[in-house]
Structure 1
Amino acid sequence: MNTSDTPHAPEVGAWFIGARGSLATTATLGIHALALGAAAPVGLTTETDAVRVEEFPAIGGIVVGGHDISTTPLDERAAQLAAGGMFPAALVEATRGRLRETEENLRPVPTLTTTQQEEIDLLAADIIDFRDRHDLREVVVIDVSSTEPLPPYHPCFDDDDLLQTALTTPGVRVLPPSSRAALAAIAAGAAYAAFTPSASLTLAVLRERADRAGIAYAGQDGKTGETLLRTVLAPMFAARGFRVQSWAGTNLLGGGDGATLADPEAVRSKLVSKNRGLHALVGDDVVAPLHIDNVPDLGDVKTAWDHVNATGFLGSRVTLQTTWSAYDSALAAPLVIDLVRSLSLATRAGHAGVVPALGCFFKDPWGSDVHGFGDQTAQFVAWVHETAAAVAAARVAAP
C-alpha cells in the first residue's frame, strides 16, 4: 500500500478546476489524511489487490493546487463539510496544517482579460508555475467544477483557425469555462480529465488540439452512484435474456450540485450523460425517464431511486426497484485520486491521446463504447498492469 506517514518527495501535481468545491476539498483532505496515515484507502480502486502496482505515484507524493472563483479557505470549507457529516471533524484537525499549505497553491480564475486567449494563457501559466515551484515530474488537471450549460454551436468548434481568431478577438466569448480550462491544461502540457458533463474537450477542435499536444486525457462525467449501479445491473438483464421495457430514475440532491442542476440548461448535459450508457446496454427503445430534483435540506447527501420493468420467460413480469443514498463527494473523491494516479502512470508510459481504459470512472467514456462496469473494470485492470510493466521495463533499460 502506497499510503503511510513516511514522507515522500513531491512527485505529481493534482490541479483541480473548482479547487474549493465539495468534491475537490474532500479529495484534497483525503490525499493529506492518507499521506499522514490518518485514514485507510477505502474506496480507492488503485489500492485494491487487483490493481495496486508500485508504478503508481505514492499518495504522499501528490501535491495539490488548483483554480476557483471561490475564496473560502480550504480548512474552513472542510470544516463545513465535516459539520454536514461528509467525514469526521477529527480529520479536519489532523490535516488542517496541510490544507493551509495547499491554500498557497490555489489561484483565482482570471477575470480582467480582454480576450479568452489571454485568460487561457494566464491559467496555463499558473499550472506551469505550480509544476516548476514544486519540481514535479508531471501535473494532472482534473475538472471537478459545477456543471455548466452547454454552449450554443459556433462554427469555430470545428475549425482551428476560426477558433484562434475568436479567442484572440477582444470582447468575443465563444468557449465556456470548462473548455478554457481544458485548453489551459493542453497549453501547460498537463494530462487532463473531465469529471463533469460540461463541454470541456467534447468540442471537436479542442480534442484535436489535445491530440496534437500529445497529452494523456480521459472523460467524461464521473460515475459514482446511480449510473454506476445501472451499469452493473443492466448487463445482468441482457445476459439472462430479459427484455427491459422501462428504466425510470429520480435523483434527489441538495448542496451546490442541487442548486446548479436546478437550472434546466445546466441539467440537460447531465441527463444525457446519465442515460447514454443505459441505452447502450439495454437498447434505444427502452423508456428511460430521468429526473433530477433539488432538495436543499438534503445537503451533500444524494438519493437515487430506480424502477426497472422487464419481461421474462413466457411474458412474465420482472420488476426491480433500487435505492442508492450516499455523500456524493465522498463517492467521487477516491475516483479523482485514482484518475490522478492513473493519468500520471499513462504520462510516464508516454501515452498520448485519450485513454479508453479509464472508462470505468465515467458515465460517458471517451474513446470507448464499453459501458458494462464489469467489462470496463477488466479493461482497466489489464491496462494498469500492461502500462506499469512498460514503465518498469523503461526504468530498467534507462542508463
Structure 2
Amino acid sequence: MATTAMLGAAAVGSGLVPPIGCVSTRPDFAPVALAGFDELVFGGHELVDTSLLKRAEQLVHARVVPPGLPALVESDLRAADEEIRLSPMATAGDQRSAIGDVITDLEDFRRRLELDTVVVINVSSTEAPIPYGLPQHASLRALLRALDEGTAALPDSSMYAYAALSADCPYVDFTPSTGARLPALAELAAERRMPYAGHDGKTGETLVKSVLAPMFAQRALRPLSWSGTNLLGGGDGATLAEPGRADSKIQSKRRMLAEIFDHETHDAVHIHNVPDLGDWKTAWDHIMFEGFLGVRMTMQFTWQGCDSALAAPLVLDLARFVAAAHRAGRHGPLSDLAFFFKDPLGTREHGLDRQYERLVHWAHGLGGESA
C-alpha cells in the first residue's frame, strides 16, 4: 500500500495518470486549499531493506501497477528511498528510547526538507487488540511514569502515535490497531494541540455495507443476519491468518451494523488467507432480511478488488486533508473524516452519504488560502 501510494502520488503529480479514486480531487473540494500531489514528499520506517523500485516491479508483476510506470517516476522513488529508515522498534532497547528515536527522525525529516507539515500515517500490519483498561494508559502522567520506569506496554502503533504527537505531527491510523486510541494519547494530543484520525481504512466490503445498511434501515426492512466471507492473500492475508490480529480487523468490520440498526442482527465475519490471491481480495456477503408480513428475503453481493489500488488514494487524501486541518489549527480527533474509516473516531455515523456530506462541509471550513 505504501509503495502504491508513493508511486501513485508521483505519477499523478507529474500528470502521467489521472487521480482516479482520490476523493480529494472531486469538484466538491475545489475551493479547499490542499497540497498538490507534486508537493508531497515521502519518508518512512520499515522492517526490511527492499527498495521501492524493486517493490514497484513486484507490483507490476502482480498487475497492480501498469508496466513501464515505475521507470517514469524512478527519480521520485529513489528520493523516497533515501528517506526510509529501519524502524527503531526493531533495534531500540526500551520503549522510551524507541519513541525518542522516532521523534528525532521526524524532526530531522521536517527540518532537512523544510516541510510545512509532516503527517504520520500508519499503514503497517494489523496488531492484536490490547486491553484498554491498563492503568498506564489511563492518563498521560501514568504513561510517562511507566515509560520512565521501563514498564510501559504500548503496541508499536501507539508508540508511533506518541512520537508523532510529541513531534507536532498529526497522526492517522489506517489500520484497526490501537494507535492514538488511548486516554493518555488523547490527553497528549490535546496538550500539543495536534489533530489525529482513524481507524481502519474503508476500502472494500465495508464500503459497500456502509451504503447498503442505511438503505435497509431507511426502507424499514429488518436484516436478520449479515454474513461476510473475506478471501485475501499477500501480506494482509498472512498477517490476518493469526487469530489475535484477525480479531482487531473483525471487531472493526462488525461495529457498523450495531450502530446503524436498532435491533440485534446476527453479524458474522470470516477472514481466510488464500496466498495465491496476492494483492487481490474477494468478499462475498449474504444478507437475510425480513419484509412486510414477516416475509424473509435475501440479498447477496460479491466484491473483488485490488487492496493496494483501493487503499493508496485514500492514504493520499488523508495526508492532504489532515495537513490542511493542521494548518487551520484543528486539533483532537477529526471525526469529520469518518468517511474514510470502518471504525471512525468521535462519531457513531456510519452511513456513507451522510459521512460524505459532513466531509464536504468540514473541508470547506478549513479555508481556501494558498497551501
What's the TM-score bracket when you normalise by the shorter of the two chains?
A: over 0.9
Q: Distance in 2 between matches of 1:378 and 1:362?
A: 15
Q: Distance in 2 between matches of 1:27 and 1:307?
A: 32
Match of residue 39, structure 1, among 5, 13, 17: 17
Mapped pair 1:296 → 2:275:
yes
Give, as a single letter, the amino acid of the residue that structure 2 aligns with 1:336: V
Cα displacement (A) at 1:54: 4.9
Question: Could you say which residue in structure 1 is the equivalent of 2:142?
Answer: 162
Contact kept, 8 Å, 2:32 with 2:363, in 1: the verdict is no
Match of residue 88, structure 1, among 46, 54, 66: 66
- Residue correspondence of structure 1 range 105-254 to structure 2 within 5 A: 105-110=83-88, 111-152=90-131, 154-170=134-150, 172-254=151-233
Cα displacement (A) at 1:169: 2.7
Question: Could you say which residue in structure 2 is the equivalent of 1:350?
Answer: 329
For structure 2, the 5+ residue unaligned runs are none
Superimposed CA distance per residue, residues 311-356 of structure 1 (whole angstroms, 9 cap, x where no aligned partner):
1122222211010000011100000000000001101111111111
Contact kept, 8 Å, 2:53 with 2:77, in 1: the verdict is yes
Superimposed CA distance per residue, residues 40-78 of structure 1 (whole angstroms, 9 cap, x where no aligned partner):
100000011122335111110011111111211011011
Cα displacement (A) at 1:145: 0.4
Match of residue 380, structure 1, among 345, 359, 366: 359
Q: Distance in 2 between matches of 1:249 and 1:29?
A: 32
Cα displacement (A) at 1:272: 0.6
| SS of aligned partner of 2:41 | strand
Contact kept, 8 Å, 1:115 with 1:168, in 2: the verdict is no
Q: Distance in 1 between matches of 2:141 and 2:263?
A: 37
Give, as a single letter, the amino acid of the residue that structure 2 aligns with 1:28: M
| SS of aligned partner of 1:288 | strand
Q: Distance in 2 between matches of 1:163 and 1:347?
A: 25
Aligned residues: 369
Contact kept, 8 Å, 1:189 with 1:215, in 2: the verdict is yes
- Higher RCO (C-alpha under 8 Å, 6+ residues apart): 2
Once the two structures are overlaid, the 10-residue window that deviates more, 153-162 or 98-107, is 153-162
| SS of aligned partner of 2:266 | coil
RMSD: 1.4
- Residue correspondence of structure 1 range 264-303 to structure 2 within 5 A: 264-283=243-262, 285-303=264-282
TM-score (norm: length of structure 2):
0.96
Give, as a single letter, the amino acid of the residue that structure 1 aligns with 2:85: R
Mapped pair 1:359 → 2:369:
no
Q: Distance in 2 between matches of 1:385 and 1:113?
A: 43
Question: Could you say which residue in structure 2 is the equivalent of 1:50?
Answer: 28
Contact kept, 8 Å, 1:225 with 1:324, in 2: the verdict is yes
Match of residue 289, structure 2, among 296, 310, 320: 310
Give, as a single letter, the amino acid of the residue that structure 2 aligns with 1:57: A
Q: Distance in 2 between matches of 1:125 and 1:73?
A: 23
Cα displacement (A) at 1:284: 5.3
Once the two structures are overlaid, the 10-residue window that deviates more, 111-120 or 179-188, is 111-120
Once the two structures are overlaid, the 10-residue window that deviates more, 141-150 or 51-60, is 51-60
Q: Which runs of 4+ in 1 moved over 3 A?
A: none
Q: Distance in 1 between matches of 2:68 and 2:364?
A: 36
Superimposed CA distance per residue, residues 217-248 of structure 1 (whole angstroms, 9 cap, x where no aligned partner):
11110000000100100111111110110100
